[in-house]
Structures are given as structure tokens and as C-alpha cells.
A and B are shown apart, each in its own frame.
Chain A
């Protein structure tokens, strides 16, 4: 732990996006290396953890995977409140889901942690034949909003780990004394949790 340049960072990460865009599939691919064609719908929210080791730091993700349907919107704030990173997912074969992703970005800009690392992900990139959202459109929107952008496929594993590596890198780069979203030195249980969790 005392090694120079190696820090432990614990970060709360939330996945948001329309139903059926593949949020759970992305997480399962990242955390367990699994993929199911018919992934059971997420009701409420699910919780996962995964650790990524970089040269400069070890990042432990506390991942909240949320239910996508609009009706569940009222439950979302408690998951993104205090999050260090947000992955906003749309389905490249659905223009509606891209619209919904933009709404999430706006909401996070209004209500979220101002230092949050935000990533826009166009998932299901393997379904090129039925694509409705061109890559440039996603790219452009992400750029305008200061977000990192990637197209991925949970099915083929394309870019899935890359998304989380990029987030980890950005979290590690950010100032260690940042007040929200990170916890240094895993050992200090007391108080640390408070930095990313959310009450009420």
C-alpha cells in the first residue's frame, strides 16, 4: 500500500439508459465475462463490483445497474447521487434510446456530481445491419457535452473492458483530494463510504 504511485481508489459507478439497451449485459461482460442473448430484465437495480489495476492506481468499482424503463425514473437519483462515474447507454439500432440517453445526460448535468466522469456508450455495435444511430452522431453529442464516447458490443465483448479502463484512468488522473466520488486507501472504513453513498 505504501508503494509510490499505487493508490487504491474506490468509485461508485452508475449505468443509465433506456430499457433493453444492454446495461446489465455490459456489466456482466465486464464483471463475469458472460453474455446471455436473453438477459432477464432488471427490476429495481442490481449491484456489482469489479477491480481494475492500472499502473498508476487500483480502481475498485461499485457498480449500480438500474432498471431502464421511464417509469423507474423516480428511483434513479439515489443511484447516481454521489456517483464518481456514469455510463449512459443507448442501443445503436434505436433512435429512441439515443434520445433517452440525451435526457439522462441533461439530468446528470443538472443534478449529478459536477466532477462526475461521464461516458456515452452506443451498445449493440454488432448489429450493424440494423443501425439507426450513426457513429458520428453519438461522437458529436458526446464531444459537445464533454463526455467520452465509445461504441461497444456486450455480445462480442468489443470495447467493453475499454470503457471501464478509460473511466478508471480518468478517475486516477483526477486530483486525489477531490471531495466526491473517491476513497483513498481502502483500509479506512470509517467515513470513506460516506463519500459515495447516498442517503434518503
Chain B
């Protein structure tokens, strides 16, 4: 029995090399753009990209040392640049800076190691069952028990120990997977903590709790926003009995990292980490707005299909994101939140009391693991990293 167990966890065969896109996803057959026109555009784009990288490097400083200063001094410049997209080679680092996860990492040396190696959680079986079903078309995660799958398992298990109220919830694997393509295991873990527990802000706190209370609230808010901003479509949805949970729940649960083109998901994540969940509502509305005239003609079945398979031109981040930012939702979102709270007085109260804690912008203790940790030691974050060799290349290797 023991023997068999170890065999089971031997890495599987390395999958055969197949053409992948620039993010490492196995290419679909039909994706064969004509080469000619792309070349000249490519040179221009490359120059522009290099200029952007220089600006960004200056803004964040060596290893991110100037970041906080810059954000305080010129928040509008930061906002504008983030909305234009973080250069891919700096993305991993910048995400950690924006979310404040770097501070969590520095304040908690050794904690991740402790969680991975010495602790166990009730969610381990669930995690294992989902590991090979998370980004199965990405080369990094394809090999059974290979480095990608191991990292994914470690991060998810560590989180399920760290936050036992949440444990592991289907969907978290896509967040962790996305992060692991840009940073080491330990960095990805702390970013997950920053998202769900809060560092600078906690854009996903409460989302995965029992009953998925926030998902329910977001879906309510989204439905009303559609009625407000796209009244004709809202009416059509009502007639066809389309409810946002039929198409939008995964938008909120995974912040578009599930079944959306990867290049678009990344751009949304850039903004999400800085501005929070509002961008999910805005992108959702922008998608509906972009396809409005088509959607409004479709009956139930075709409508559902269309809402889950937006056309490629709708998913161009340079068109979709400016459109998303132009949709003003924050005031109405707040009103709708209050309205929803009133409607569901009791179950919301608990989520509310914990949400208020987040606004304190504190990095303080949320779990025993935090309390045991020492000062934000001088110890470099590089030294504390472990089990991360396989993904380190993705941080430094790109530019």
C-alpha cells in the first residue's frame, strides 16, 4: 500500500511538445495568423514596449524600493499606467507590490514553509482531485505530478491550512495557477492571502465563505446594473429568464481567469489588484454593451451560448478596458449593496462585520500563523523562498 502510494506520486511522463502561445497555453489548431503584416507592427510594438518597461522600472525602483513613495506622490500616474497594462516581464513583481503581498511575505518569514511541510488540512483530497483539472491546456500544469502541479498543490494546501474557514474552494486553483505563472510558490501564496484576507485592501474577502455570500450579492448588484445601464438588454434578459448566475458567477469567482483569453485576463488582473472588484462589474457590463445589438435579438438558448462565448473582437483588452473604465458604477454599486443588505438582513450581518475590519489597512494578525511571526526582518524575501526553483525563471527571465 505504502509502496503504491509513492508510485502514484511519481511525476507522469512529460507531455509531448506541442506548439504553445506566448503564455504557454497549447495552441488551438485554427490559430494561425498570417505572418506578413504582423512583422512591421511587431517592431513598432516592441519599441513602445521597451519604452514602457523603462518607465515602469523607474517608477518601481530596484526590486520595488520606490513603489510606495511613487504611489503616494503620483497615484493618478500609477492608475493610468496600470490601466494601460503592466509590462509582462514586470507583472509578477508589480502585482506583489500593488496588492501589498510583498509586505506580508517580509513580515512572515518561514510561515509558508511551515504551512506546506508540517500542517495538514481537511481539503487535501479536494485539492488533489482538482489539480490536473486546472489549466489542463497549459504546459506548466500538464505533466502529472510535475513541477507545475506540485506548486499548485502546495499553494492551495498552504492556503487551506492558513484560512480554515475557507479551506479550498473550486475556482481558487485558477487564481493560484495564474499567479504561479508569474511568481514563485511562496509569492503566489502571499498574494492569495492578500486577495482573500487583505493587505492593502482585500478585494476578494468573503467571496469563498460557506454559502458564497458575496457571489450572491455581486450577482444581485450586476443584474441591477444591467437594468440601469442597458435597460433594453435587461428587459430582454427578464423576458428570456436569463439570470446573471447563469453566465457571470465564474467572472466573480475567478476574476475572469477561467475560460477567458489569457491576455485579457492578465490585463483585467492588473486593474483588479489596484482598483478591486469594481473592474469585474465594469468589464462584465462592457462585454454586454459591446455585444448589445446581437444579444438583444437572441432567444434563451443562443443567448446563453453567446454569453459564454464572446467573439474575439469583443475581447480585445485595448478596446474593452477603456470601455469598461468609462462605465460609471461605483455610486450605484454602493447603493445596491445597501439594498441587498436590507433584503437579506441576517445572513449578511456576519460578512459585514468581518468586511469592516479590512478597511483598517492593517497588516496585523488574522491567524495564529501571523501572530507567531517576527518583525519585518531584514532577511531578504529572496532568502525565504523555497520550493520555487521551477517558477523563478518566470519572474526574471522575461526582459
B-binding segment of A67-75, A113-121, A169-177: A67-75
Q: Which of A62, A75, A78 is close to B301, meaning CB atoms less than 8 Å apart?
A: A62
B-binding segment of A39-47, A146-154, A160-168: A39-47
What class of interface size applies to chain A in its complex with B?
20 to 34
Q: What's the minimum C-beta distance from B377 to chain A, rounded to whole angstroms?
A: 36
Given contacts A39-B133, A41-B133, A49-B301, whether A75 and B171 have CB atoms under 8 Å apart is: no
Contact yes or no, A71 B245, CB < 8 A: no
Some 30 contacts from A to B, beta carbons below 8 A apart, are: A19-B130, A20-B129, A20-B130, A36-B136, A38-B136, A40-B134, A40-B135, A40-B136, A41-B130, A41-B133, A41-B170, A43-B170, A43-B174, A43-B253, A45-B246, A46-B308, A67-B170, A69-B170, A71-B212, A72-B212, A74-B212, A75-B215, A75-B249, A193-B240, A193-B241, A193-B300, A197-B241, A197-B300, A198-B243, A199-B241
Contact yes or no, B134 A41, CB < 8 A: yes
Contacts of B132 in A (CB 8 A): 38
- Measured CA separation A47–B171 after assembly (Å): 18
B261 interfacial by beta-carbon distance below 8 Å: no
Contact yes or no, A200 B243, CB < 8 A: yes
Interface string of B134-172 (1 = CB under 8 A from A): 111000000000000000000000000000000001110
- Measured CA separation A182–B212 after assembly (Å): 31
A189 interfacial by beta-carbon distance below 8 Å: yes
Q: Which of B136, B216, B241 is close to A194, meaning CB atoms less than 8 Å apart?
A: B241
Count of A-B residue pairs with CB < 8 Å: 81
B63 interfacial by beta-carbon distance below 8 Å: no
B258 interfacial by beta-carbon distance below 8 Å: yes
Q: What's the minimum C-beta distance from B142 to chain A, rounded to whole angstroms?
A: 8
Contacts of B171 in A (CB 8 A): 41, 43
Contacts of B299 in A (CB 8 A): 189
Interface string of A49-74 (1 = CB under 8 A from B): 10000000000001000011101101
B265 interfacial by beta-carbon distance below 8 Å: no
Contacts of B215 in A (CB 8 A): 75
Interface centre among B126, B135, B208 (most CB of A within 10 A): B126
Main secondary structure of the interface of A (DSSP, over half): loop
* Chain B minimum-CB-distance residue to A69: B170
* Chain B minimum-CB-distance residue to A38: B136
Contacts of B253 in A (CB 8 A): 43-44
B16 interfacial by beta-carbon distance below 8 Å: no
Q: What's the minimum C-beta distance from B177 to chain A, rounded to whole angstroms?
A: 11
Contacts of A36 in B (CB 8 A): 136
B173 interfacial by beta-carbon distance below 8 Å: yes
What class of interface size applies to chain B in its complex with A?
35 or more
Contact yes or no, B136 A43, CB < 8 A: no
Q: What's the minimum C-beta distance from B23 to chain A, rounded to whole angstroms?
A: 16
Interface string of A1-34 (1 = CB under 8 A from B): 0000000000000000001100000000000000
Q: What's the minimum C-beta distance from A110 to chain B, rounded to whole angstroms?
A: 18
Contacts of B135 in A (CB 8 A): 40
- Measured CA separation A47–B254 after assembly (Å): 18
B53 interfacial by beta-carbon distance below 8 Å: no
- Measured CA separation A68–B240 after assembly (Å): 26
Given contacts A40-B134, A198-B241, whether A71 and B208 have CB atoms under 8 Å apart is: yes
Given contacts A75-B249, A189-B299, whether A43 and B254 have CB atoms under 8 Å apart is: yes
Contacts of B301 in A (CB 8 A): 49, 62
- Measured CA separation A41–B127 after assembly (Å): 11
List CB contacts (< 8 Å) of B76-132 with chain A.
Answer: 126, 129-130, 132
Contacts of A71 in B (CB 8 A): 169-170, 208, 210, 212
B211 interfacial by beta-carbon distance below 8 Å: yes
B250 interfacial by beta-carbon distance below 8 Å: yes
Contact yes or no, A78 B245, CB < 8 A: yes
- Measured CA separation A36–B253 after assembly (Å): 24
Contact yes or no, B133 A40, CB < 8 A: yes
20 extra A-B contacts, CB within 8 A, seeds A20-B130, A40-B133: A19-B129, A20-B133, A38-B133, A40-B135, A41-B133, A41-B134, A41-B170, A43-B170, A44-B253, A47-B246, A47-B304, A67-B170, A69-B126, A69-B169, A71-B210, A72-B212, A75-B245, A193-B240, A193-B241, A193-B300
